[in-house]
Amino acid sequence: MERKFLMILTLAASTGAAFATEIPPSDVIFTDGAVEASLTGVAGDPENGRLIVGDKGVGNCVACHEISDLADVPFQGTVGPMLDGTGARWSEAELRGIVSNAKMMFDESMMPSFYRVDGFTRPGNEYTGEAADDSFAPLLDAQKVEDVVAYLTTLKE
C-alpha cells in the first residue's frame, strides 16, 4: 500500500503536472484513421508546429513533402504529396491521425508513424545504427504532434 503510493508520487513528480492528461502512444484511439481527442488537452501552437515541420532534426517533414509556406527551407522532398491546402482537404482529427500514424489512414504508407513506439523491425537508437535502448521514444512527443497538427490546419490553400 505505502509503496504504491510512493510510486505514484515519484511518477507525478518526474512527469510533471502538464502531462496529467497526456495520452500515451499505445492508448491513442483511431477511428477510420482519424484521432478525435487531443493528445494533451493543451491547444497546439501553429508557430512552433511550423518550425518542427521544417527542422531537419525534429519533424523533418520537408524531407518528403514540399510546402510553399516554408519556401525559406531549402531542399524539400517530393516523395509525398505537396502539403499546400492540406488543411482544407483534411479535418483536424484526420490530420492528427495522419501525423500520429499515417498507416491507419493510408494502407502501407511510406510515411513514418510519428507517435508510436512498438511494432518496429530492428528499431535503432536514433541514427547511430545501434539497437534501441531505454531512451526509445516516439519521433515526436504528444505536444509536438499537437503543434504540427495546429500548423497543418492553417494550410488552407
Partner 1 sequence: MKRLTAALTAGLMAASMVSADPVDDTLVLNGETTIVTRIKAPEAVADVFDEVISGWHFREEETRAMQADDFDNPGMIFAELGEDLWNTVEGSEDKSCASCHESPDNMAEVRPGYPKWNEDAGEVRTLEMQINDCRENRMGAEKWKYTGGDMVNMTALLASVSRGRPVNVAIDGPAQSTWEAGKELYYTRFGQLELSCANCHEENNGRMIRADHLSQGQINGFPVYRLKNAKLNAVHDRFKGCIRDTRAETFEAGSPEFIALELYVASRGNGLDVEGPAVRN
Binding site for ligand HEC (CB under 6 A): 53, 59, 61, 63-65, 79-81, 83, 86, 89, 95, 98-99, 102, 106, 109-112, 114, 148, 152
User: Which position among 32, 72, 134, 157 is part of the footprint of partner 1 (CB under 8 A)?
Assistant: 32
How far from each other are the two terminal CA atoms of the chain, in whole angstroms?
57
Judge residue 22's burial from the number of C-beta atoms within 10 Å of its C-beta, 0-12 exposed, 13-18 middle, 19 or more buried.
Answer: middle
**131 interface partner picked from ligand HEC, partner 1, none, CB below 5 to 8 A per type:** partner 1
**How far apart, in whole angstroms, are the C-alpha atoms of residue 28 and residue 113?**
12
**Nearer CB in complex with ligand HEC: 7/114:** 114
∠ Cα 95 99 101 (to 5°): 115
Q: How many residues make contact with partner 1 (CB under 8 A)?
A: 41
131 binds partner 1 (CB under 8 A): yes
